[in-house]
Each structure stands twice: as C-alpha cells, then as structure tokens.
Amino acid sequence: MASQQLEFTTCDVFTDIRFEGNPLAIVRLPPNIFLSQGQKQAIAKEFNLSETVFLRLGTGQNPDEWTIDIFITDAEIPFAGHPTIGSAWYAFAHLADQHVRRATLNTKAGPIPVTLDPDRRRISASIPHDVIVHKTAVERSQLLDLRPALREVGQAAIPNRAPVVSIVRGMTFALVELGSLDALRAVKPAGQLLRVSLDAADTDLLTKGFVGWYFYVRLAGMEDGTKRLCARMFDDPLEDPATGSAASALAVYRTLRDGEPGKVSRYAITQGVEMGRRSEIGVEVALDEERRIRDVVLSGWAVPVMEGKVWC
C-alpha cells in the first residue's frame, strides 16, 4: 500500500508567546483519507506530545463544522481543553472564511460551539460538561504518602481533604488547594498512581479514562471580580503546562461552592510557570437560579510553531 502524506502543524496553546503554553500537534484529514485507530495512535505516539489532534474539515452544507479526534500517547480521550482551543484557533486561521466568527467542533464528548474574537486574540469554547463531585476525596494522609515533599511546607498549607471532580466522564481530577506559592512550587511527581473510588459504575478510577492531580493556590482577585489562581497538573510522573479540562473542573467546583445563583463566575488560571512554559487559561462558569451549571466557557489563544507532512 502506498504511503499517504498528511499535513500537520504544531502550535503552542494558552499563550501568545512561542515556546510557552502547551504544545499541540494538529494533523489534517482530507475528506478522502481515513485512518484506523491504530494509525492515529501510532502518529500520536510519534509526536510524543501530551495530545495530538486529527482534524477533519466540514464539507457541503456544513463548512463551519469541524470534527476532531484527540489522542494522548497511549489512548484516545473524549475531551481536552488545549486541543479544543488549539484546533479552533487553527481552523479559524487557516480553514474558515475570513468573516467566520462562530463554528462547531465535534468531539467524542459532544459538539462544542467555538467563537473567535480577533481583537482580543481569544478563542472561546462552550465546553461539554457532565460534572460529578465524587463522594470519595483524597485524604491528607494519602496526599502526603504520594507527595512526601509537601511534608516540608507545613501542615497549614496542606488541605485535610481534596475533592475528586469529573468535568466529563473519563476526565477526572483531584483538586488540591495549597496554602502558598511556596507549597505549589514544592510539589514533585508521585512515585505511584492515584487510586480512589468513583460514584458511578466501576470502583477503580483508572478504569474511567484519564485522571490527574490539579494543585492550585488562590490569589488576590482582579478589579472586575475575576478570580486569579496559579496551578500545576500532574499525570504522574509527567507534568502538563496547560490543562483546560482541569481548569474547567476547578472553576466549576469553586463556582458550585462560592458562586451566586444566576450569575457568571470568571477565572484567570496561570499554569506551567515551574516548567518554563507559562500558560494563561480563562474559564467562565454560569449558574442558573437553582445553582446548577448552565454553561462553562473555556478561552485562550495559540501561536504556530512548526509545520510539515507526516507519512502513514
């Protein structure tokens, strides 16, 4: 069988500065090209980035409807934040008519409306959410067993319990609020994976798709009421420079705790500083009058880094 050549672009997401943010590989799939799951997985493994996206353009009556498949190096995942923002940025910049400002990204987690604000250099995505705050939390003793470096920062900076939250099924995070930036900087990769029970169906979190740790510190808010946080995400033993799904899970959790009915809570989350890849993630969470989640909007920008062709 003859080799196929597919165009690819890499970009850095949640930044407007090249070589910061979170790298993403975007592989374009023309209408007449279809790859197997095995081929997609092999390409994602070859790029060896946290995520690789396979982007198929809209055709016919739906030119502004695009489909993405999102792969980490060893599995396909239903949703992730920086592939959503990066893919939308690429599609608006390279594929859409210059006057198009709204489109839809179809993902395994559902359709995601995306918008472009070129003046503010912002892509916004109204992301799918099926939020679960699990009954089981990570206790302080378990946290310190897995993160012994935190023993050095003092008990006051470490929570008694850390909630476990899914933004969609299959994308779950332990949200660990620390008491200082020094404590955040002290976090090191764990020697073993986190295991807790979920509320739904099976008992082991590892059978439910991706799970990560999201450590964060709350900072003084902005004058317009936007809440500022610094964060780090670990998929042990690796650290991720920008994690839109984790930022969304955190913003939803904080809003369910502190938000006002019928209001929108805004968050500005800085991640990746300790890695030298500073990322700026925006999240807005709207509650209805019954304090249920009405909408979650993730926002950011991206810059191109490399382009070329991949043979498969």
Model confidence over 57-113: pLDDT tens digits? 766 566 788 999 999 999 999 889 999 999 999 999 987 777 889 999 999 989 999
**Do 188 and 229 lie in a common domain?**
yes
> Is the four-CA dihedral 148, 237, 83, 72 of positive or negative sign?
negative
Same domain as 44, residue 115: yes
Q: pLDDT grade, residue 2 (50/70/90)? A: low
**199 φ, ψ to 5°?**
-75, -30
Q: How confident is the model at residue 205 (pLDDT cuts 50, 70, 90)?
A: very low
Top pLDDT among 97 and 55 is at 55
Residue 204, pLDDT above cutoff 60: no
In the predicted model, what is the mean pLDDT of residues 15-41? 95
Q: What are phi and psi of 130, to 5 degrees?
A: -135, 70
Q: How far is CA 229 from the centre of its chain?
A: 15
The average pLDDT across 278-301 equals: 97
What's the pLDDT band for 187 if we cut at 50, 70, 90? very high
Report pLDDT digits (tens) over 146-169. 999 999 998 899 999 999 999 988
Query: Is 259 in a helix, a strand, or coil?
Result: coil
User: Are both 163 and 290 inside the same structural domain?
Assistant: yes
The band of 207, judged by pLDDT with boundaries at 50, 70 and 90, is very low
CATH code: domain of residue 217? 3.10.310.10
Domain identity same for 183 and 216: yes
Mean pLDDT of 245-251: 97
Residues 56 and 176 in one domain: no
Is 117 in a helix, a strand, or coil?
strand
Can you give the pLDDT at residue 202? 44
Buried b (16+ CB within 10 A) or exposed e, 111-149: ebebbbeeeeebbbbbbbbebbbbeebbebebbeebbee
Same domain, 190 and 146: yes
Locate 227 and state its tokens. 């809440």
CB 8 within 8 A of CB 308: yes
| Total H helices, total E strands in the chain | 5, 20
Catalytic residues: 51
Both structure tokens of 14? 């949640």
Structural domain boundaries, residue 12: 5-127+302-311
Q: Are residues 22 and 115 in the same domain?
A: yes
Hey, which bits of 127-209 come out as E strands?
A: 132-133, 138-139, 161-162, 164-168, 171-177
- For residue 269, give every residue at least 6 positions away whose Cβ sits within 8 Å of its Cβ, in sequence order, or none: 216, 228, 229, 230, 231, 247, 250, 251, 280, 281, 282, 283
Q: Is the pLDDT of residue 206 over 50?
A: no
* Long-range contacts of 283-287, Cβ-Cβ distance < 8 Å, separation of 24 or more: 283/247, 283/248, 283/250, 283/251, 284/251, 285/251, 285/252, 285/255, 285/259, 287/255, 287/259, 287/260, 287/261, 287/262, 287/263
Residue 110 sits in the same domain as residue 136 = no
Q: What is the mean pLDDT of residues 18-33?
A: 95
Q: Taken in order 36, 42, 48, 50, is the CA torsion positive or negative?
A: positive
Same domain flag for 295 and 171: yes
C-alpha to C-alpha distance for 10 and 17, rounded to whole angstroms: 14
Return all residues near 185 (Cβ < 8 A) that are at least 6 apart. Answer: 274
40/82 same-domain check: yes
Q: How many CA atoms lie within 13 A of 153 on its CB side?
A: 20
What residues form DSSP beta bridges with 284? 266, 297
Is residue 160 packed enough to be buried (19+ CB in 10 Å), middle (13-18) or exposed (0-12)? exposed
Place 1 in a pLDDT band, splitting at 50, 70 and 90.
very low
Average pLDDT, the chain: 92
* Total structural domains within the chain: 2
* CB contact set of 204 (below 8 Å; sequence gap of 6+): 195, 197, 198
Domain shared by 154 and 71, yes or no? no
Q: What is the mean pLDDT of residues 266-270?
A: 98
Q: Say whether both 145 and 231 belong to one domain.
A: yes
